[in-house]
Amino acid sequence: MRKRFGQHFLHDPQVIARIVAAIEPRRGDRVLEIGPGRGALTAPLFDRLGALTAIEIDRDLARHLGARFGPALELINTDVLEVDIAALRGSGEPLRVVGNLPYNISTPLLFRLLEQRTAIRDMHLMLQKEVVDRMVAPPGSKTYGRLTVMLAPWVRIERLLSVGPGAFTPPPKVSSAVVRITPLAMPAFDIGSTASFDRVVRAAFAQRRKTLRNALKGTVAAGVLEQLGIDPRARAETLAAAQYAALARAAG
């Protein structure tokens, strides 16, 4: 077991069956699995699809998988954060991404997948429960934050199932949950520019305890909050993503 690669292997057949049922893989789907490990999800996916692509960083695991599944499993033995998913898609159908992710890289990986969303049809990901809570949090809740708002223009998120530590070998210290992330054909709202949206959201949540007036000083001109009907004394977690979009448009 390689701790640095966040290796916790799924062994619970019921959990595996429920994840595969949620994915509903169909022959012809182009599935990309991230971190196949010992093949807990790879095997049932492979049975249904006859072929798939997987990215695994661990050389020994990659070798085992290659020997077990043969050439119909396209195995890329590298760090997923270095892979150009759009290039992997090429001119074919968008990819269906699946993964019981290494939790130590889940946030950078989510942002990277988000950047490459036009190459992706949907994603079914096992994540740390806390990350899923942040992804689906409503405004005003404790876990609502930068991640929630940054995802909102681009994707629909559905929490599918909770998974306890006992489903893995070795059991992780945290609980997990599976989500379906579906890139939207059109952004949910106009964010002006990505750079401006990123800047405004980052500034707002950099110090959650500050009022928006103080947090956005230097990012959004004085008076803009009032013009948009936003209380300058409100705090970052009370604003809906669409209001951040309006602020980003005004900030230019």
Measured from the CB of residue 42, what is the shortest distance to ligand SAM in angstroms? 7
95 with 85: CB under 8 angstroms?
yes
75 DSSP β-pair partners:
54
Nearer to ligand SAM, 110 or 236 (CB): 110
- State the amino acid at position 102 in one-letter form: P
Measured from the CB of residue 120, what is the shortest distance to ligand SAM in angstroms? 16
152 with 183: CB under 8 angstroms?
no
Measured from the CB of residue 133, what is the shortest distance to ligand SAM in angstroms? 19
Measured from the CB of residue 53, what is the shortest distance to ligand SAM in angstroms? 12
Nearer to ligand SAM, 42 or 148 (CB): 42
Task: Could you list the beta-strand ranges (E) of the chain.
Answer: 9-10, 31-34, 52-55, 73-76, 95-100, 120-128, 155-163, 168-169, 176-183
68 with 36: CB under 8 angstroms?
no
Within 10 A of 16 (CB to CB), how many other CB atoms are there?
17
Phi first, then psi, for residue 9 (nearest 5°) are -95, 135
Nearer to ligand SAM, 37 or 145 (CB): 37
Chain centre to alpha carbon of residue 178: 10
Measured from the CB of residue 24, what is the shortest distance to ligand SAM in angstroms? 18
Nearer to ligand SAM, 38 or 249 (CB): 38
Chain centre to alpha carbon of residue 32: 14
Binding site for ligand SAM (CB under 6 A): 5-10, 34-38, 40-41, 55-58, 61, 79-81, 100, 102, 105
204 with 239: CB under 8 angstroms?
yes
Nearer to ligand SAM, 37 or 44 (CB): 37
Residue nearest to ligand SAM (CB): 35
Q: CA quadruple 182, 183, 185, 189: dihedral positive or negative?
A: positive
Measured from the CB of residue 152, what is the shortest distance to ligand SAM in angstroms? 26
Nearer to ligand SAM, 125 or 239 (CB): 125
